[in-house]
Amino acid sequence: MNIFRPRPVGEDWIEVRAELERAFQLSRTAAQAGESFVFVVHHDDLLGRRGAGNAIVATGLLSAARTAAIEGARKGWAVNVVAYDDDADPDVVTGWAERLAEDSLGVTGELIRVGPSHLGKALP
């Protein structure tokens, strides 16, 4: 299944770009095969709470997913993002990612958040 989980990165651009490029390679390969894909990120990174490098990767992936979803909607494949917080059950997070990668039932370009830490915070 096409599921991408970024590795933690530091404050070094080359390291950050390498992680984004790994996501790009997976995205392009999946799109060329007409397959759906999913990015899994930490919710804190969407809000910039764990350093600039990790924030750039998480929000970059979310935006790329939204764009890829627009392109995939015409071809029948979906792209979604699952965000989790520290209290989220890892098996539940994986379950969501696998479900969305396998058959998202028409859900595409969405951010699915597992755990309550996003409540009352900015919409990413």
Based on the number of CB atoms within 10 Å of its own CB, is 121 exposed (0-12), middle (13-18) or buried (19 or more)? exposed
Q: What residues numbered 10-69 form the site for another protein, per CB under 8 A?
A: 11, 13, 16-17, 20-21, 24, 27-28, 31-32, 45-49, 51-52, 54-64, 66-69
What are the φ and ψ backbone dihedral angles of 73, each rounded to 5 degrees? -60, -30
Secondary structure of the chain: what % helix, strand, coil (to 5)?
A: 50, 15, 40
User: Under the criterion CB under 8 A, does residue 85 sit at the interface with another protein?
Assistant: no
User: Under the criterion CB under 8 A, does residue 112 sit at the interface with another protein?
Assistant: no
Give the nearer residue to another protein in terms of CB position, either 59 or 94.
59
| Interface ranges with another protein (CB under 8 A) | 11, 13, 16-17, 20-21, 24, 27-28, 31-32, 45-49, 51-52, 54-64, 66-71, 109, 122, 124
